[in-house]
């Protein structure tokens, strides 16, 4: 990566959702670079010295959070395969527009909206495409639909004195990840992790450190990035079965060995979603459903992206390869196992 030619004077940065894995990594990287970081979320975040606790659904709390800030990196969101549309709207759409308006009123200069490639994934294969245009009418699932609407609202607010970019990290994982890694490993240990269509679908993923550095780079390169949506990945497409096997082995589980046809999983996912909605997840298990139509699509459909525009605009390349990431993951679980055995 060449010398930074972007804006280097951002000092007061608000990070929403910093109690999550990616938000925490972004906040830590900003602090390491010398920025003054304020965090905003519903529960305290590790390492925070300036924490504003509250919800995106509380306009007064949002106004307190943005006061005195030069920039906002917005990661807070309702992330789930299931849930009522009303809840997704309240946090992901209305919450984002509330934050955008409060930031403009407070004189914030730059706004990084952390989005998802799912906002432009409509169920068919993506093989080497660019970011694509977010479309809430075509996106699959309430999370993707709500994030698509929020991204459109964010980019529509872009102007000379309030610059907005959307960064879409794809399938972020790493040590400490409970959304993907922990579920993959636990379901493998419980023999509840099938491959779909033999795990042959080619997919991109993003190691946590790379995702965090790309998001911060979006802020540093706002001159070049504002008004754009950029997909961020490691740029190393792999068969989904190979990736899941690597995660399982790193976590001390056996790789999935049985396969289910993708069409069958998609149909079953649709049925399970209806049952979850009718009965209520709280009355079933304290977890996401074992399968949804959206998840089945993600596991059985190719989705990998052309990274040339992203790397040119951000003047950035990922620093951690997938193989190195898996080694770090194995070291993380090995250290955790040693600690557990010593207690």
Query: Token pair 């943005």 is at which residue?
Result: 66
d(CA 292, CA 30): 36
Strands 126-129 and 303-305: parallel
The yes-or-no answer on residue 207 being catalytic is no
* Tokens encoding 186: 């636990």
Exposed / middle / buried, residue 137 (Cβ in 10 Å: 0-12, 13-18, 19+): exposed
Rounded to whole angstroms, what are the CA distances from 230 to 163, 169, 301? 15, 8, 21
Residue of 40, 81, 113, 143 marked active site: 143
Phi, psi of 185 (to 5 degrees): -65, -45
Helix/strand/coil for 36: strand
Q: Name the residue among 264, 223, 217, 258 with its Cα closest to residue 241.
A: 258
Q: List residues with catalytic annotation.
A: 143
């Amino acid at each position: 990566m060449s010398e930074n030619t972007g804006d280097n004077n951002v000092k007061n940065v608000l990070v929403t959702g910093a109690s999550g894995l990616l938000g925490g990594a972004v906040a830590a990287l900003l602090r390491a670079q010398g920025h003054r970081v304020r965090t905003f979320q519903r529960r305290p975040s590790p390492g925070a010295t300036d924490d504003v606790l509250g919800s995106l659904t509380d306009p007064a709390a949002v106004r307190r959070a943005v006061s005195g800030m030069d920039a906002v990196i917005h990661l807070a969101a309702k992330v789930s395969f299931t849930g009522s549309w009303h809840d997704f709207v309240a946090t992901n759409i209305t919450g984002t527009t509330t934050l955008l308006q409060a930031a403009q009123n407070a004189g914030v200069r730059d706004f990084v909206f952390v989005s998802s490639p799912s906002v432009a994934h409509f169920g068919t294969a993506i093989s080497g495409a660019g970011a694509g245009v977010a479309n809430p009418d075509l996106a699959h699932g309430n999370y993707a639909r709500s994030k698509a609407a929020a991204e459109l609202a964010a980019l529509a607010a872009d102007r000379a004195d309030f610059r907005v970019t959307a960064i879409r990290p794809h399938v972020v994982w790493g040590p400490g990840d409970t959304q993907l890694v922990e579920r993959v490993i636990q379901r493998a240990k419980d023999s509840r992790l099938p491959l779909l269509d033999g795990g042959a679908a080619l997919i991109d993923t993003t190691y946590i450190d790379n995702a965090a550095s790309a998001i911060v780079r979006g802020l540093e390169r706002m001159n070049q990035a504002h008004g754009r949506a950029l997909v961020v990945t490691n740029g190393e497409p792999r068969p989904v079965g190979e990736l899941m096997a690597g995660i399982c082995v790193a976590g001390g589980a056996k790789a999935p060995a049985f396969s289910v046809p993708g069409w069958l999983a998609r149909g079953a996912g649709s049925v399970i979603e209806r049952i979850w909605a009718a009965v209520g997840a709280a009355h079933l298990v304290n977890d996401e459903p074992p399968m949804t139509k959206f998840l089945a699509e993600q596991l059985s459909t190719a989705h990998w992206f052309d990274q040339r525009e992203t790397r040119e605009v951000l003047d950035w390349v990922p620093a951690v390869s997938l193989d190195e990431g898996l080694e770090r993951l194995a070291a993380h679980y090995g250290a955790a196992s040693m600690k557990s055995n010593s207690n």
